[in-house]
Structure 1
């Protein structure tokens, strides 16, 4: 049996897909360990997860949503991902020395995993968590791309990493998406489109199911782990707008308690069992976090997306191009605009049909099981 080390950043959406893959590998008798932040990994993978701790820098302040996507991408690398890799590298090296993995699986935003494994001559695979990571925002911007290459070269020297590009392992790239969502982007030969790794995650919470009428269309509003200030403004706008639509019921996940009093048609709860709830939902309103998008499409649920940062604009564009949702402009979104977008996806069956098509492609791709198949091939 094999030994696999998963190197992940301190970001929930990047740990969740790995949880599904580690569960599949463990079920086949393999040994699995993690390198990252123990409190985040164990919250998602369970208290029994074998975690080697890695230091992380303080995350930089949130950027203004008006910054264009290519500039935001470059700043994210300069201000967060490069410092993160440098901070994590000693912990990754220690984890490899103690656990002795045969294969390292390095998230594309935890590039210390790929660089250290490559420097030690270990087989390693890139985990491309979102479909946005297969689209280069710096294409056509050679100076910006060259600057990022310089940053990675300098990082490689500081942490004694190997020569390979840590964003795209020559041993393979596990891409948790399918063509139906990704679109026609040209991909390197080593990329494997395995679909989202749904399942294998720790259980979440209870939910007042008796408050939902199964005969009434349900809209779910969630912003995942976005910052509280932006979440509060958007959630309050959604509550006001959706409460004005007749013939629907709304569930809002509001962990920060930002919404306040609402009418009987709007159920506000701090947390939800998301996968269970999505089986009963007719539309989802979100900022475009990849977990939320994939889980919604898995259930054939169309989306209304108001992206604000990082990969969200790219993911939102892919959803729109697939015909599975509507995109709202970022920033402060008026209640009436949210209501109009939700009415649009509920009234036009084409959105539901497109979402179901993407969801079917997710299930046929294999997800965690397909990813585990590829990883087993590296055992030799």
Structure 2
């Protein structure tokens, strides 16, 4: 039996891929625990999960980000105002979790930098889990000044949390990085600081999102799902409004389900053509969906492609432009501009992914590569294979 400590940031999309991995390890007889926010991780990981609290910055929540931030400005905000303060805040809790649980291996989300730096300081092996492929596909190659600035932030953070003599890049484990994608979507691999294993998405059942009126779905019309995730409600009013207008104009051939967690479209409502809800059972809905309109969040993109569903992607910030570029390069969808796309352009994009069979064929091809990669089971096997004398507990 090996003891695995999962270290995660307070972000649902970064916890979800690891839930299935932890469950697979437990089923194989290993011990698992989590270092993170119990109130966020607990409901996702299930009633049997052991969650050891780590404080996070800004009152246990991600700091609000001005919705107008895009490009390098948004990336700098992510690092300076969220990731670095989060690492500082989590580090004491991660150290306490290590002392209490005594793990053999830390499994660290790429944005939970404290996990990697505490593991390095304590001489423990750690594996990076990448819920998005943006960091190892050369996303910063065209922004050398931003890349150098991030390297400087990491060097200072490493000195404070791991020690001045440490050199590891906390974004990439020297032992292994598990990438929840495949080359069929991610494209060519840049040269990260350690080995990378593509395991495909870890798609597993999630807690119910509330009642859904399944009888509302019309089997004679295509269903289009619209979702901007749970952290983009501050920026989505104009876009979701345009989506509702564009899709309602096509009511003769399709119906739309719009996830609106922020209530920017008003109270939850539905007619025969457009259903607006604060949350939807996305994994259950995708097999009945003909197209997805989304912000190119990695989890939503991968879950859609897992089911062979093509996409209209409207990236907002962070890794989303990179993921959107991957979707288009792979032929599995159409990209539109988030802040400058009206109902006409959105409607044409939806028509394109519904009418051109090449988009669905590409989505199915990528979905096949995801299934072949193994997902949570393959990730668990990779973690089991770290049980060698070179990576046993250093105490």
Normalised by the size of structure 1, how large is the TM-score?
0.95
TM-superposed CA distance for 1:115, in Å, is: 0.7
Contact 1:65-1:308 at 8 Å conserved across structures: no
How has the CA–CA distance of structure 1 residues 360 and 141 changed in structure 2, closer, same or farther, with 3 Å as cutoff? Answer: same
Residue number in structure 1 paired with 2:105: 103
Contact 1:43 1:202 in 2 (8 A): yes
1:169 matches 2:173 = yes
Between the two proteins, the alignment pairs up a number of residues equal to 379
Picking from 217, 223, 248, the partner of 1:218 is: 223
Q: Following TM superposition, by how much is the alpha carbon of 1:143 offset from its aligned partner in structure 2, in angstroms?
A: 3.8
**CA spacing shift, 1:307–1:143, aligned 2, 3 Å:** closer
Q: CA deviation at 1:242?
A: 0.4
Q: Is the Cα–Cα contact under 8 Å of residues 216 and 272 in structure 2 kept in the other structure?
A: no
Name the CA shift for 1:217/1:242 in 2 (closer, same or farther; >3 Å): same
Q: Secondary structure at the match of 1:279?
A: helix
Give, in whole Å, the separation in 1 of the partners of 2:243 and 2:354. Answer: 15
The answer to whether the Cα contact below 8 Å between 2:108 and 2:116 also exists between their aligned partners in 1 is yes
Distance 2:356 2:10 in 1: 39
CA shift, 1:136, in A, is: 3.3
Q: 1:204 aligns with which of 197, 206, 209?
A: 209
Q: Residue in 1 aligned with 2:7? A: 7
Q: Which runs of 5+ in 2 are unaligned?
A: 389-395
Moved more, 296-305 or 337-346: 337-346
CA contact (8 A) 1:239 1:259 kept: no
Equivalent residue for 1:364, pick from 372, 375, 393? 372
Measure, in 2, the Cα distance between the counterparts of 1:257 and 1:147. 37
- Quote the Cα distance in structure 1 between the aligned partners of 2:352 and 2:358: 10
What is the aligned partner in structure 2 of residue 296 from structure 1? 304
Kindly state the Cα deviation for residue 147 of structure 1 after the two structures are TM-superposed.
2.5
Residues 132, 179 of structure 2: 8 Å contact kept: yes
Is structure 2 residue 350 aligned with structure 1 residue 350?
no
Write the distance in 2 (CA, Å) between the matches of 1:138 and 1:236: 32
| Secondary structure in 1 matching 2:41 | helix
Within the candidate set 105, 108, 121, 1:119 is matched to 121
Deviation at 1:253, TM superposition (A): 1.5
**For residues 220 and 167 of structure 1, what CA distance do their matches in structure 2 show?**
33
CA–CA distance in 2 between the matches of 1:54 and 1:66?
A: 28
C-alpha separation in 2, matches of 1:302 and 1:140: 28
Tell me if the contact between 1:23 and 1:200 (Cα under 8 Å) persists in the aligned partners: no
Which segments of 5 or more consecutive residues in structure 1 lack a partner in the other structure?
none
Residues 113 and 237 (structure 1), Cα distance of their counterparts in 2 relative to 1, 3 Å cut? same
Which whole-Å CA distance do the structure 2 matches of 1:276 and 1:141 have between them?
Answer: 39
Instruction: Give distance in 1, aligned partners of 2:265 and 2:148.
Output: 44
Task: Give 1:39 shift.
Answer: 1.1
Query: What's the CA shift for 1:129?
Result: 1.0
- Conserved 8 A contact 1:73-1:137: no
* Correspondences of 1:246-257 after superposition (within 5 Å): 246-257=252-263
Structure 2 contact 202–376 (Cα < 8 Å) conserved: yes
Find the aligned partners of 1:35 and 1:309 in 2 and give their Cα distance: 27
What corresponds to 1:134 in structure 2? 136
1:7–1:92 Cα contact (<8 Å) kept: yes
Q: Is the 8 A contact 1:7 1:106 kept in 2?
A: yes
2:264 to 242, 258, 262: 258
User: What is the CA RMSD across the aligned residues, in angstroms?
Assistant: 1.7
Q: Note if contact 1:233-1:332 (Cα within 8 Å) is conserved in structure 2.
A: no
Once the two structures are TM-superposed, the CA of residue 142 in structure 1 deviates from its matched residue by 4.0
Residues 310 and 141 (structure 1 numbering): CA distance in 2 closer, same or farther, change over 3 Å?
closer
Write the distance in 2 (CA, Å) between the matches of 1:88 and 1:42.
17
Q: Is the 8 A contact 2:313 2:333 kept in 1?
A: yes
